[in-house]
Structure 1
Amino acid sequence: MSRHRPGGCCRRCRGAFGQAGGYAAERHAGGSVLAMATVVQNQALEQPLDPAWARSVRKIAVYRALFLGDLLCATPALVALRQRFPQAEITLIGLPWAAELVDRLPCLDRLVEFQGYPAIEEVPYEPVRGKAFLAAMQAEQFDLAIQMHGSGCVSNGFVAELGAGFTLGYRSDHDDDRLDRSLLYDANEHETLRWLRLVAEVGAYTADTRLVLPTTTAEQERAHALLAAGAEGCGPLIGLHVGAKAASRRWPPERFAALGDALAHHYGARLVLTGSAGERPLTAAAQAALRSPALDVAGKTDLGTFAALVAQLDLLVTNDTGASHIAAATQTPSVVLFGPMRPQLWAPLDRQRHRVVDALALFPAADPQQVLAQLSVDTVFAVCAEALAQSGRGDRTQTETTVTARSLVFGA
């Protein structure tokens, strides 16, 4: 198979295709994603790809050695890539945990575990192992390698060394020419739109920004059995996800407990504490502070069963972590609590179904690493009340609260 590049000249002569400055996408989630896709497609048509090259692509490598939320946010771009190259084998170069996700995503064919590269922190670098890994990847003879890891400061070097027929990614420096085609990285761009913009460079256009996380019938049945065993009653089924990888992104478990009690009192809510096995101390702390009954399923689900369980909730209240993206993928109404991170970059794009409390916007003078501690139960309860009303599960058993949350919701 001929391994020619999609342009007829060298990378310096071609220049960067589709510069970020000429890209007129809506930068906020409330904008028109369809307009975004149309602008990208029209711009790309000014410098069309060589159709023969596109048809010749048989092996694609995508480098994104990150975590659950990061990968879920990239699934619209991965789906678009699959639609553009239906004949190709698409390999994710990622972290070991991602095997469970890759197995359930039709847009990916296999996972190759990333073995490290100098200055990439996700995997400690060992020279002998790292060099052997690069040699193995070069032997794969990828036709296309895409850097979807970040701004490209270090990761562009890794992707360039894969030896693919054509390389694509972002760059943070105008003079970074390590990849065949690169766009300037926009630090203010939403994570999902960022990767859609990138894959449009190889003709993978879409206006569909929905995150993807399929579940099986068996997983749905296991989730139903878990809930049936401990979440009795007829009130709204509300999940409280108290964990997050970084402590700065965790609202205190005792506040989650007070929120749960308020939701149980006003709505007769059936409460479910969710989390991983490592987050059991956090769910236990919330359970100990609760006066209302709650089902603790932390550590009792794998990825698919957890996604199926979230899909059966009426509302998920969660820290800014992977669970928020699972709610987006399963179209479960959610309230997401943001602390040091910016919701403009990571919040679910559907503002009607997924509401955001931006603690930094409420307390701009606070230490970003401590700002979630400033967030009151009343504030979060008010946003939950709006979410339940929107979903039709907001029939109260008690009197209305006087707190208004409209000014607190990102994008409202």
Structure 2
Amino acid sequence: MRNKRLGRTPIHAKRILIWEQNWLGDVIFSTPFIKALRKNFKDAYIACIVNPSSSEVLSGNPHINEIILYDENREHRGIFGKNKLIKRLKQGNFDTVFLLHRSLSRAIICALSGIKRRVGYHYSKRNFMLTEIVDLPKVPLHKIEYFLNIAGRLGMDIQDKKPEFFISKEDQDYAARLLSQNGIAKNDPFIVINTGGNWPPKRWPEKNFAVLSDRFIKEYGIKIVVTGADKDFDRVLHIQEMAHQKLIIICGKTNLKQLAAVFEKARAVISGDSGPMHIAFSIGAKVIALFGPTSPALTGPYGGGEFEVVRKEIGCKIPCYNSGCKDNRCMKAVSVDDVEEAVGKIL
């Protein structure tokens, strides 16, 4: 099978498939790439294949014609599941796929689906399955730039690098009702705190969230809304137990679209490096992003908008992917005063 290194080579495509990465934040980071494709292929049919947990990120995106779910742990598990997906992709008659995911198995699926042009980054174990290989960047890039680099190598016009997240009036109405039911009127100022992170070292100490919340409620008269998934509920209850003021807890009461609508109405959103933080920034909220083991230069807010990044240098190598770190010094080093100061800068 012949493949070639991709220079600034224009590509002609009528039916395009984009195979997304797994993490919610990475899918958000891909939206400027999707927008660039649509701008440069105005009449093309563009589909994205994504895992079910991240599909909401792309729903409602006007640059996409179709979202295809890839559930590798259930529906598409094993040989029979993969064969089912191959049949589905064959029906799409795609002529080009952009493999944003580095997986070999995904490249094989695309080849077996009859997609003639398979474009992706250089990874030695799967290069033989690509028809066009993009050399990896010589220096680390923000994830948005990492994806856009593929478009740039194809000679595409790239102007807007801000990620996008689309919500409906129904989502906004739901958020308004939810806030009203919890004592927040239309013009009441409130700040959202999102306490989660997909692994513990990325989480700011619960005690700090409690102290910060008390300070904003008591000294500034600003209500605090705490968001999260069902799995975050115990941690949020612990924060409420440590706080002296009443928090408004809406964990598990929204989907991602409705959550974005809550963020949209907030004066600011305070969050660690997480999917919800990226949603908040994408929807246009003012964001205070708390960083520890991950690098804001690689996965922080990017492309415009109003935000403050708070992190402290403690001598550890960043990014650090030691999910079993027992110390969490990098997040503990960020003080309540640091975060309060960042909020003051942005409001």
2:61 maps to 1:105? yes
Partners of 1:274 and 1:297 within 8 A in 2: yes
Q: Distance in 1 between matches of 2:326 and 2:75?
A: 28
1:81 is paired with a residue whose SS is helix
Cα deviation code 1:248-276 (max 9, x no counterpart): 22223232112211222332221010011
**Aligned residues with identical type, % of pairs:** 21
Mapping of 1:128-277 within 5 angstroms? 128-150=80-102, 152=103, 155-173=106-124, 176-186=127-137, 188-232=140-184, 236-277=189-230
Any gaps of 5 or more consecutive residues in structure 2? none
Q: 1:221 to 1:77 in 2, by over 3 A?
A: same
Q: Distance in 1 between matches of 2:74 and 2:299?
A: 20
Structure 1 stretches of 4+ moved >6 Å = 121-124
Indicate the larger mover: 58-67 or 361-370.
361-370
2:224 is paired with a residue whose SS is strand
1:319 corresponding residue in structure 2: 272
- The aligned amino acid for 1:213 is F
Cα deviation code 1:42-66 (max 9, x no counterpart): xx3xx444xxxx2xx3321111151
2:266 is paired with a residue whose SS is coil
Q: Distance in 1 between matches of 2:173 and 2:93?
A: 42
Q: Distance in 2 between matches of 1:115 and 1:304?
A: 21
Q: 1:349 to 1:313 in 2, by over 3 A?
A: same
1:342 corresponding residue in structure 2: 295
Partners of 1:153 and 1:171 within 8 A in 2: no
Partners of 1:61 and 1:144 within 8 A in 2: yes
Q: 1:84 to 1:11 in 2, by over 3 A?
A: farther
Q: 1:94 aligns with which of 46, 50, 54?
A: 50
1:4 corresponding residue in structure 2: none
Cα deviation code 1:54-107 (max 9, x no counterpart): 2xx332111115132121111111111122222222221111234433331112
Q: Distance in 1 between matches of 2:97 and 2:305?
A: 36
- The aligned amino acid for 2:6 is F
2:335 is paired with a residue whose SS is helix
Any gaps of 5 or more consecutive residues in structure 1? 1-9, 19-43, 392-412
Following TM superposition, by how much is the alpha carbon of 1:352 offset from its aligned partner in structure 2, in angstroms?
7.1
Q: 1:248 to 1:377 in 2, by over 3 A?
A: closer
Following TM superposition, by how much is the alpha carbon of 1:379 offset from its aligned partner in structure 2, in angstroms?
2.3
Q: Distance in 2 between matches of 1:355 and 1:105?
A: 27
1:80 corresponding residue in structure 2: 36
Q: 1:389 to 1:175 in 2, by over 3 A?
A: closer
Following TM superposition, by how much is the alpha carbon of 1:143 offset from its aligned partner in structure 2, in angstroms?
0.9
Q: Distance in 2 between matches of 1:185 and 1:275?
A: 35
Partners of 2:263 and 2:280 within 8 A in 1: yes
2:5 is paired with a residue whose SS is coil
Q: 1:276 to 1:90 in 2, by over 3 A?
A: same
Q: 1:386 to 1:330 in 2, by over 3 A?
A: same
- The aligned amino acid for 1:291 is H
Partners of 2:6 and 2:134 within 8 A in 1: yes
- The aligned amino acid for 1:71 is V
- The aligned amino acid for 1:349 is Y
Following TM superposition, by how much is the alpha carbon of 1:223 offset from its aligned partner in structure 2, in angstroms?
1.2
Q: Structure 2 length normalisation: TM-score?
A: 0.86
1:333 corresponding residue in structure 2: 286
Q: 1:134 to 1:267 in 2, by over 3 A?
A: same
- The aligned amino acid for 2:160 is D
2:66 maps to 1:127? no
1:205 is paired with a residue whose SS is coil
Following TM superposition, by how much is the alpha carbon of 1:188 offset from its aligned partner in structure 2, in angstroms?
1.7
Q: 1:354 to 1:220 in 2, by over 3 A?
A: same
Q: Structure 1 length normalisation: TM-score?
A: 0.74
Question: Of the two, which has the highest radius of gyration?
Answer: 1
Following TM superposition, by how much is the alpha carbon of 1:336 offset from its aligned partner in structure 2, in angstroms?
1.5
Following TM superposition, by how much is the alpha carbon of 1:190 offset from its aligned partner in structure 2, in angstroms?
0.8
Cα deviation code 1:103-153 (max 9, x no counterpart): 31112222222254xxxx899841222233224323432111110124x55
Following TM superposition, by how much is the alpha carbon of 1:319 offset from its aligned partner in structure 2, in angstroms?
1.6
Which fold has the larger relative contact order, with Cα–Cα distance below 8 Å and residues 6 or more apart in sequence? 2
1:240 is paired with a residue whose SS is strand
1:17 corresponding residue in structure 2: 6
Q: Distance in 1 between matches of 2:133 and 2:289?
A: 33
